[in-house]
Structure 1
Amino acid sequence: MKKIVLALTAVAAMTGSALAADMAPRTYAKAPPVAAPVANWTGCYVGAGGGGAMTNNDGLLVDSVTGLPLTNNVTSGARGWFGTVQLGCDYQFQNWVVGAFGDYDFMDVRGDTGVFPVATGLQKQDYQWAVGARVGYLVLPQLLTYISGGYTQSHWKSTNLSFFGGATPFATMSGFTKGGWFVGTGDEYALTSFLPGLFWKTEYRYSEFDRADAQLFDFATGLPAPGFATNKVREHSVRSELVYRFNWGAPLVAKY
């Protein structure tokens, strides 16, 4: 009996050694890297800030009866500042962000305008609003660069005209409101080290408005004069805002 047990033990030992020799060494696969969770840009926000604007206005005087120009085109300019408020919503997919927004500017942009070379006046742009969309790319989890575009409308106040910039007006050019389009580009950066949800956004914007006809009135009598001035305004602006996002911090996995 002992001889049988010893024989079986020897056979088992030899079999185990053979199986161990035939088995390949175990390899360990490295786990794939897991993308770190970053904050989600999806959601709505409010913003407020300000900036500066400059405009060029191409204008000329036109006969009210014949519709023929009475003067050559005169280009004048205006400079000034504005405060702005904004409301918008964004949606993030992977590293891309798309969104829609609206903003309103309280403006003090003014400069000399002339319907013909010897008659000038101080023209003022006092408010503007815009609605549009933007698409951007996250170059860093906390830094968005984007382009924007949409519809805009602005208002210019009435302007008293005098000869050679004198103190006594002889005519008034009516105010006008005109719409147009805009394109812009900018970036937005998360200031989460100061306050969760706080962002800083800076944008350059170019706006072009439809041509506007402004009636001329005799300053002394208030009666319409036999002519009107055309205005074609183009605007460059730079704006900077602090933005608060309501849902900042919701986790989202993105690859960079």
Structure 2
Amino acid sequence: MLKSLSIVAATTLAAAPAFAGSTDQAPVDASVTQAAPVNSFSSPDWTGFYGGLQLGYANVDGSGIGDDDGFIGGLTAGYDYDLGDWVIGAGIDYDFTDTSVGNTSTTLEEVFRLKARGGYKIDRGLLYATAGYANADTNNLGSDDGYFLGGGYEYLVSEQFSVGGELLYHDFDNYNSSGVDVEATTLQVRGTFRF
């Protein structure tokens, strides 16, 4: 009996290290994890045509006859060319409004612009300056040619859609030979589809 117990005890002690587990670490999987693909849209290409809608505020000032404000909105279209960090482009705007020219019965009804713009890319955004030709049309004072200048910011929500805002100053000296200088300031937001 004692001999049997000794054999059982010896067998148990000999097997103990096998049950306790090895002190060696399990092998590590040597497979290489692939990096997530880089999203090329993080630095978008602005090259292409665009078209959209804009809406905002206009303040119209007639020299010596005061100023008035109202809503303005319309259509915008153009083409941009991406140079890397910089973007240049050209476009047209056509806006409708019903804003009085000072304290008179004359109202500004339409504004047409031919514009050039250039700006610097900031991530998915574009901070830009713009200037060009403007034509204004009124209800009873005819139309006249002038210029505008300003700036804005546009952000690419996706490769096909952008949103932005633009502040413009317009100047029409001696409007249609009336002796009145007309100045207009507009602030508009816009949404554009890009092609």
TM class, shorter-chain normalised?
Answer: 0.7 to 0.9
Deviations 1:87-128 (A, max 9, x none): 100000111000000010011112543xxxxxxx32211001
Q: 1:111 to 1:177 in 2, by over 3 A?
A: closer
- Do structure 1's residue 104 and structure 2's residue 94 form an aligned pair? yes
Deviations 1:153-200 (A, max 9, x none): 101212xxxxxxxxxxxxxxxx221111110110001112xxx41100
Query: 1:61-76 maps to which residues of 2 (within 5 A)?
Result: 74-76=64-66
User: CA separation in 1, counterparts of 2:49 and 2:89?
Assistant: 9
User: CA separation in 2, counterparts of 1:152 and 1:44?
Assistant: 21
Q: 1:100 to 1:112 in 2, by over 3 A?
A: closer
- Do structure 1's residue 187 and structure 2's residue 153 form an aligned pair? yes
Deviations 1:27-58 (A, max 9, x none): xxxxxxxx973321100000102111102101
Give 5+ residue unaligned stretches, structure 1: 1-34, 59-73, 114-120, 159-174, 215-228, 247-256
User: CA separation in 1, counterparts of 2:111 and 2:136?
Assistant: 4
Q: Between the two proteins, what is the percent identity of the paired residues?
A: 27
Higher strand content, 1 or 2: 1
- Which of the residues 40, 43, 49 maps onto 1:44? 49
Q: 1:112 to 1:150 in 2, by over 3 A?
A: closer
Report the Cα offset of residue 75 of structure 1.
3.4
- What is the match of residue 133 of structure 2? 151
- Which of the residues 136, 139, 157 maps onto 2:119? 136
- Do structure 1's residue 205 and structure 2's residue 172 form an aligned pair? no
- Which of the residues 179, 183, 192 maps onto 1:234? 183
Counterpart of 2:120 in structure 1: which amino acid?
Y
User: CA separation in 2, counterparts of 1:87 and 1:122?
Assistant: 32
Higher helix content, 1 or 2: 2
Higher RCO, 1 or 2 (CA under 8 Å, sep at least 6)? 1
Post-superposition, which runs of at least 4 consecutive aligned residues in structure 1 deviate over 4 A?
none
TM-score (norm 1): 0.58
TM-score (norm 2): 0.75
Give 5+ residue unaligned stretches, structure 2: 1-37
Aligned residues: 156
Q: 1:133 to 1:157 in 2, by over 3 A?
A: same
